[in-house]
Amino acid sequence: MTATMRKYIIKRLIYSAFIAWGIFTVTFVLLRIGPSSPADRYLATMGAGKGDIEEIITALETRQGLDKPIYVQYVDYVTNLLHGDWGWSFSTSMPVMDLIRIHWIYSFQLILLSMIFAALLGIVIGIYSAVNQYSRIDYLSTFFSFVGISIPNFWLGIMLILIFSVKLGIFRTYYDTSLPVFSFENLKNLVLPVITLGTGSMAAYTRYVRSSTLENLKKDFVRTAKAKGLPERTIIWRHVFRNAMLPIVTIIMFDLSGVVFGGAYLTEIIFGIPGLGQISFNAIFAGDYAVVVAVTLIGAFITLLFNLITDISYTFLDPRIRYE
Amino acid sequence: MRLSRRKFLSLCAKFGAFSLAGGTIGCTGQKEAKVESQLPERQFPQVKGTFIEGTSSGDAETLNWILAGDGASLGYVNFTMDGLITYDNNLNIVLRWLSEPIEVSEDGLRYTLRIRDDLYWSDGKQVTAEDFVYTYRNLMFADWMPFNYKDDYREEIDGEKRFVEIKAINKTSYQFIRQTVNPEFLYTITDFWVYPKHIVKKYEGDIEAFTQADELNNLSYTGNLGPYRFVEWIRNDKFVLERNPDYYLGKESGAPYFEKYVVKILGSAAARHAALEAGDITSASIDPLQVKKFKELKHINVYTQPTSGYNILVFNFRNNGWEGFKNKKIRQAIAMSISKDALIQSIYLGFADPAFSFIPRPSPWFVEDGLSRYGVDELYDKERAMQIFQDEGYELHDGKILDGEALRLTVVTNSGNKVRESICFLVKQELSDIGIDVEMKLLPWTTELNQYLRNKVPGSDEEPAFNNGPDAVSEKPWDMIVMGFSTDVLSPSGSSVFFTSDGGLNFGGFSNPDVDALFNRIRTKESLDEDKRREIYGKISILLSEDLPGNFLAYPVGNVGFQSNVMGIEPGISMGYNYHEWYFA
């Protein structure tokens, strides 16, 4: 890595930290000036309570420090954050960092495997379709791509469970967290969730790769390579593939950043996977501000980091790209 | 004597009976629960297997139970600590930690409780009356503790609310002393559990330390107090328990009979049903649409059980609601136009009972005679309803009821609740038949709560509350709201919050001085006589069924499926009260 590149990366990381901080501040303020309160969720289940509702709401807000002026809450939060304290999650009764530390792996393994599944199949099928444009396989892949894009995740997941778990008994109906992460059983456990989450992306990647490859196949450098007598496989994989990958890398990186923002929420719900998607959404509905703010802050930073990785990867895929 | 409302809730939550809060069970007698001790040893079931209960009603918030505001948390804790009593399916009290029934003084002011002498904390120290007194005095009643149910333990003396007195009598007896009579206080004092004084004392006064204390969040102190011990809790995934070999009720019988008990969270009904059908879980509640299919499966047993929740179409009596609702005959005409049979058959697929008042049939205080049964039989009559409108001065033109112009009402409910949305649609259809246009508003819960349920006097600086007096109005106008309420079946007077003039949750602004007076009479000496209390509840039920603060619609019933190798289940409203005696065949 050149000194210029190192300088560029450091600069981008500093920018990212500032942007993430800005997003965090906006989220923090919006949550507190919004019309809802963490007490709202209790009110739905207080039907038979004889207690003083307003007293309960006040007690809940006091316990969570929401009775203080917003600037005091902000300063307190930031001060604690600088001391490594991300706060306490009132909806799950544990430190926010422990909550994220325990649950991120469930989302990460699911999203990573889905992306690998989607990218591998999407790229291979997309290139094959493009190289064999208007062939029977191209028509088939186009048809299944549109089907894959159109099928809602939750429907596909439930169908897979009914067929492969209930009827055939091959897989368990839900994800089992007691299995070691790095084990064959865990991998087997993830087959249906990965197909559920990855099918839509795979179909989309197939379309992107096909169209990007077709575009590159018409470029002058391909014609030159052919004129030089290079074998077709070399032309495709060494020249066309690298150029066709530029737009795909951006999309894959964006999908990966969904690990924090709940990109796999529906799949997690269907298969009972306790990932960050579920944690984030539940925190939002529970008014668990500490978790929402932490997830937003970490999510924003990770998204910016993936953007940076995407930009850097361009320099490897296309040597003409330089950052200064 | 009766059962505690929250114990009953946690029992029901355990088996997916209902998702609304509330529910206490009534009973008319007492009996000892130690049936197992009478059985010869050879008959006891073998300890084996893992019972996996699938649920979609959401995860708990905390195991530090005094801070809990949700039913799931109380349900989880209940696995590790039985509590003082429970109730069987006939709503008879079954003693657990209590060694004998609660003794109530003749004047109804003193309640004496005696606990067993074989209850121990995990460190071997005996559970004493002093632990109970400490839990009440220094924790539940303390200013620093945000305990959600403080008001249940207060009484009003000379216009001032004060906590009841509690004192230890000896090592295993303690006493509550009241200044005023409240016969239903009996149910309150058997709610909740106990903290070990010698462990909790160090956190006293420091809510942050108390909230985050490891021992309290890991239930590591529960000793022999419940059939299971806490092992692991993965949020939004599962709550794992292991058999407690020291369980005080299992000394002779060897109960409980499952090696492990797991509560598995499954985010959707479809996933829950699939897991039950595939045999990946042992039990789960079943949605009405799936009941027929599960009943046909040989490896699943389906049990139907009553619940204490009901749906109601609340009318707006406030100044921003339709003026017509202030006329009782018009309210009756509206109720007469909505078929409860159609509602039960088309929306609940038959798994509900029609509601005419707020006390459900399983409650010992339920009365049937004298209830006005609007919406069924001869009181479902749209022509008569239209005639009532005309008699009350409304014109009928081209099949439309005119109130100056064509009458148009709004019906509101929270979006995402399919049953309530369907009820809104049915109300719209039924009322259109008598010439009333109904506009449906399906809103997010928070919007409904803040803009429609909370109210304040216009122009005042007061904070919006659910009942800020007769002149208060909500931010947005509305005419009818479909809501789910729940009744404490053992002590239904808790429902006064909905139906009395100053009730804290009377957002519709209903007011009937006779109803107010009757609810007040429940908390007087005359109600110590159970027959008298039943008579008063009968009068309230009849009055509400006729006066209609809202149209009481239906009491849903729940369906629970079990793998057929689970033995020992006693179906009923309190199914699961004996779950420590269940076993695998």
Cα–Cα distance for residue pair A7/A5, rounded to 1 Å: 5
d(CA B152, CA A51): 6
Give residue A263's pLDDT. Answer: 65
Written in H, E and C, the secondary structure of B265-317 is ECCCHHHHHHHHHHCCCCEEECCHHHHHHHHHCCCEEEEEEECCEEEEEEECC
The alpha-carbon gap from B482 to the nearest alpha carbon of chain A, in Å, equals 13
pLDDT band at A242 (very low <50, low <70, confident <90, very high): confident
- State residue B297's pLDDT score: 97
**B214 touches A at CB < 8 Å:** no
Residue B437 one-letter amino acid? D
Hey, which bits of chain A come out as E strands? 88-89, 94-95
Domain boundaries of chain A, sorted by first residue: 3-88, 97-317
> CB of B526 within 8 Å of any CB in chain A?
no
Distance of residue A94 Cα from the nearest chain B Cα, in angstroms: 7
Report pLDDT digits (tens) over A73-110: 999 999 998 898 999 999 999 999 999 999 999 988 99
Q: pLDDT tens track of chain B, all 585 residues?
A: 333 445 554 544 444 433 333 322 233 333 333 334 444 455 799 999 999 999 998 899 999 999 988 889 999 999 999 999 999 998 999 999 999 999 999 999 999 999 999 999 999 999 999 999 999 999 999 999 988 888 889 999 998 999 999 999 999 999 999 999 999 999 999 989 999 999 999 999 999 999 999 999 999 999 999 999 999 999 999 999 999 999 999 998 999 999 999 999 998 899 999 999 999 999 999 999 899 999 999 999 999 999 888 999 999 999 999 999 999 999 999 999 999 999 999 999 999 999 999 999 899 999 999 999 999 999 999 999 999 999 999 999 888 999 888 999 999 999 888 899 999 999 999 999 999 999 999 998 878 888 999 899 999 988 888 899 999 999 999 999 999 998 989 999 989 989 999 988 899 999 999 999 999 999 999 999 999 999 999 999 999 999 999 999 999 999 999 999 999 999 999 999 999 999 999
Structure tokens given for A215: 């575009």
Let me know if A139 is exposed, middle or buried by CB neighbors in 10 A (0-12, 13-18, 19+).
Answer: exposed
CA distance, residue B135 to nearest chain A CA (Å):
19
- Record the pTM: 0.86
Site from B219, B237, B294 to mutate, A interface, most A CB atoms within 10 angstroms: B237
Flag if A47 and B266 touch (Cβ within 8 Å): no
Identity of the residue in B20, B24, B446 whose CB atom sits nearest the CB atom of A35: B446
Partner residues linked to B300 by β-bridges:
B563
Q: What is the value of ipTM here, to two decimals?
A: 0.86
Q: What is the pLDDT of residue B193?
A: 96
Q: Is A179 on the interface with B (CB under 8 A)?
A: no
Q: What does residue A153 show for φ and ψ, rounded to 5 degrees?
A: -50, -50
SS3 B582: coil
Q: Token pair 């009744």 is at which residue?
A: B487
A104 touches chain B (CB under 8 A): no
Q: Residue B26: its pLDDT value, please?
A: 30
Contacts with A54 from chain B: Cβ below 8 Å: 463, 465, 504
CB B380 within 8 A of CB B340: yes
CB A169, CB B278: distance < 8 Å: yes
Partners of B58 on chain A (C-beta within 8 Å) are 282
pLDDT in tens, A105-138: 998 899 889 999 999 999 999 999 999 999 999 9
| Residue A59 pLDDT grade (very low, low, confident, very high; cuts 50, 70, 90) | confident
Contacting residues of A for B498, CB less than 8 Å apart: 47
- What confidence tier does A246 reach under pLDDT thresholds 50, 70, 90? confident
Average of per-residue pLDDT across A177-187? 93
Chain B positions touching A57 (Cβ under 8 A) are none
How would you classify the pairing of strands B103-104 and B93-95?
Answer: unpaired
Predicted pLDDT at B511: 97
Cα end-to-end span (Å), chain A: 13
Residue at token pair 């994800």 = A175
pLDDT at B7: 52
CB contact under 8 A, B237 and A154: no
Closest CA of chain B from A85, distance in Å: 13
Across the interface, do B146 and A60 touch by the CB < 8 Å criterion? yes
Cα–Cα distances in Å, from A93 out to B78, B143, B407?
Answer: 18, 21, 51
Q: In angstroms, how far is CA B432 from the centroid of its own chain?
A: 34
Please name the residue that has the structure tokens 């379309």: A207
- Which contacts qualify for B165-171: CB closer than 8 Å, 24 or more apart? B166/B132, B166/B133, B166/B136, B166/B137, B167/B133, B168/B128, B168/B129, B168/B130, B168/B132, B168/B133, B169/B112, B169/B129, B170/B129, B171/B117, B171/B126, B171/B128, B171/B129, B171/B130
Cα separation, B72 vs A91, in Å, equals 12
Distance of CA A147 to the CA centre of its chain: 22
pLDDT of residue B22: 30
Are B19 and B57 in contact by the 8 Å Cβ rule? The answer is yes
The confidence score (pLDDT) of residue B16 equals: 43
Q: Domain A97-317: what homologous superfamily?
A: MetI-like (1.10.3720.10)
pLDDT score of B333: 97
Tell me what pLDDT residue B39 has: 46
Give the separation between CA B533 and CA A17, rounded to whole angstroms.
67
Report how far residue B358's alpha carbon sits from residue B361's, in angstroms, rounded to the nearest whole number: 10
